[in-house]
Amino acid sequence: MSSPPRDVQIYAMAAGTTVLRCRSWNRLRFEIEYGLERGTTANSYLIQGDRTALIDPPGESFNEIFLAALERHIDLYQLNYIILGHINPNRAETLKILLKRLPEVTVVCSNPAALALKDLLPDASPRLRAIRSGEDQLDLGQGHHLKFELIPTPRYPGGLATFDPYTGVLYSDKFFGAHRCDDAVFDLSWTDLLEDRRYYFDCLFAASSRQVQVALGKMATLPLQTLAPGHGPVARYSPRELFQSYRDWSQAQTTQELSVALIYASAYGNTATIAQALARGITKSGVAVEAINAEQASPDEIKTAVENSAGFLLGSPTLGGHAPTPIQTALGIVLSTASKTQPAGVFGSFGWSGEAIDLLESKLKDGGYSLAFESIRIKFTPTDVTLKYCEEVGTDFAQSLKKAKRAKQPRTPASAVDQAVGRIVGSLCIVTARQGDVSSAMLASWVSQASFAPPGFTVAVAKDRAIESLMYPGSSFVLNILAEGRHLGPMKHFLKPFSPGEDRFEGVPITLAESGVPILTEAIAYLDCTVAQRMECGDHWLVYATVQAGRVLDGDGKTAIHHRRTGTHY
């Protein structure tokens, strides 16, 4: 029986505390953090004492089933407070309905969120209670004396965490979440969820490591026992492990040798989504990102980020035919601060025109800056294809920075160890993958059989490969094994640099495997596989896959072997 597309799961998770999990088994949105396509939950929480608070109502796509479930669970007029961990136009639609039906309810949020709400819902202003510091508290009675911590990031400047000392639950909004839909309310296994949480962190928070570490420092002072995020399972059994992982992941970003200043503003979230995809491509390549929301950052923050960066990117929506004032201010700071040797890039979204993108591009060119890629112009909402394109642009941008740095360093001969490692040989193969409308391929020689039953093998994939994001557990791919003497054509084709979004299979004869993934007809054999596990190994992921189907296409051919002289490169 197939899973329902949407429902609401209600569970009593602590004393006087209920979680309402709006669930979707389908990919809900096109933001890059949903890229694993494992569904999601939008978690809301009810705390009932002498007064009742609702924490984080879901966005518009869930509001109908959520409100119906909420009314079945409680009398809506019992609600005294609605607490917002963040606000955006999507959530504001649900909030609008609640405020219309509950004229006495008070909305509790951070001051930046309150300012945003005054624009999104002007009628809500008299009913807002803005939290301005960690000293602000809210007593619901019966032991539920709520405390608050401000946890802003560039993507979520109105971030607010809520802590209930009575139950030890920290309501962390975007922090500590995962986009994964199943029946488990709690984290029954730390390792089962680790990859989902790491992917979610890499997409949402890797570009905000400085702000993340500040937020973690605030939350670390709380005697928490449970982490209740806005998405995914509640962390009851491994909150400390999850908390420490966030520390480790954010710390790893601060140790990178190179960084990119990513400066943007976003009216409706679309430009921020593009920025997020670019940041994902950059950080997966081993280059740090300092994300700057121009609407919230001070001039000194922008100036410092640009001064410390190896390159910079500017993004803007177009509002009324113009770039928002904060972006124009940021542009002036960049033009007076950045070195002409720093590579630059421009991106943005628009509804009917893209004058803001034209402005940024022309000002940078007139200022003598070199644009590393053709400006990214996205009309309306990005799709999975355009987000993949943006990720690849970010990866190319990061790789160009690393290449420029290497060119300045003196070349050193291969060591004895490097030469010895280079004597390890592997089969020359082409790995192909497809997910929806997105496809990719790469040349691989770090391949080895790993198991008899089930038949399985490992393949090493560099973190900055475009195909990497298509090779997570549950994903399908094909290993195309090349024939000796006939390997140079496919090898040359897939070794060449591809532009972001370029069709890797143009001019290449292919058929399709049972999984729908391309098979190269020039291959000596192919294996149709499913990713079972991934292990992080330095600058590569080691992917273990099990074979679902396969066939020898040329019984007389021999496998092409890759011989190297050094272990420092392919």
- Nearest residue to 431 via CA among 316, 551, 519, 533: 519
What CATH number has the domain bearing residue 217? 3.60.15.10
Predicted local distance difference test score (pLDDT) of residue 4: 58
- Whether residue 470 is contained in a domain is answered as yes
Predicted local distance difference test score (pLDDT) of residue 1: 40
- Whether residue 276 is contained in a domain is answered as yes
- Whether residue 145 is contained in a domain is answered as yes
Please say which residue of 252, 279, 300 terminates a domain. 252
Burial class from Cβ neighbours inside 10 Å (0-12, 13-18, 19+) for residue 163 reads: buried
- Whether residue 570 is contained in a domain is answered as no
- Note whether 292 and 199 are same-domain residues: no
pLDDT in tens, 12-26: 999 999 999 999 998
Domain housing 458: 417-562
Average pLDDT, the chain: 95
- Note whether 295 and 211 are same-domain residues: no
Question: What pairs with residue 377 in β-bridges?
Answer: 348
- Whether residue 569 is contained in a domain is answered as no
- Note whether 272 and 239 are same-domain residues: no
Q: Assess whether pLDDT exceeds 90 at residue 2.
A: no
| Cα–Cα distance, 33 to 39 (Å, whole number) | 11
Q: Assess whether pLDDT exceeds 90 at residue 353.
A: no
Q: Sorting pLDDT into bands at 50, 70 and 90, what band is 232?
A: very high
What CATH number has the domain bearing residue 302? 3.40.50.360
- Whether residue 1 is contained in a domain is answered as no
Task: Using a pLDDT cut of 90, give the percent of the chain over it.
Answer: 90
Q: What's the whole-number mean pLDDT along residues 70-97?
A: 95
Q: Is the dihedral of CA 358, 360, 363, 365 positive or negative?
A: negative
Q: Sorting pLDDT into bands at 50, 70 and 90, what band is 98?
A: very high
- Note whether 341 and 287 are same-domain residues: yes
- Whether residue 567 is contained in a domain is answered as no
Q: What's the whole-number mean pLDDT along residues 328-354?
A: 95
Q: What's the whole-number mean pLDDT along residues 204-219?
A: 97
Predicted local distance difference test score (pLDDT) of residue 134: 84
pLDDT in tens, 400-455: 999 999 999 888 888 999 999 999 999 999 999 999 899 999 999 999 999 999 99
Q: What's the whole-number mean pLDDT along residues 66-72?
A: 96
Q: What's the whole-number mean pLDDT along residues 549-556?
A: 96
pLDDT in tens, 365-378: 999 999 999 999 99
- Is the previous residue joined to 239 through a cis bond, with omega within 30 degrees of 0? no
- Note whether 38 and 136 are same-domain residues: yes
Please say which residue of 200, 221, 252 terminates a domain. 252
Dig out the tokens for 12 from the structure. Answer: 């009593």
Which bin fits 440, alpha (ψ -120 to 50), beta or left (φ > 0)?
A: beta
- Note whether 433 and 549 are same-domain residues: yes
Dig out the tokens for 177 from the structure. Answer: 């979440």
Count: domains in the chain: 3
Task: Using a pLDDT cut of 70, give the percent of the chain over it.
Answer: 99
- Note whether 402 and 441 are same-domain residues: no
Burial class from Cβ neighbours inside 10 Å (0-12, 13-18, 19+) for residue 544 reads: middle
pLDDT in tens, 163-173: 999 999 999 99
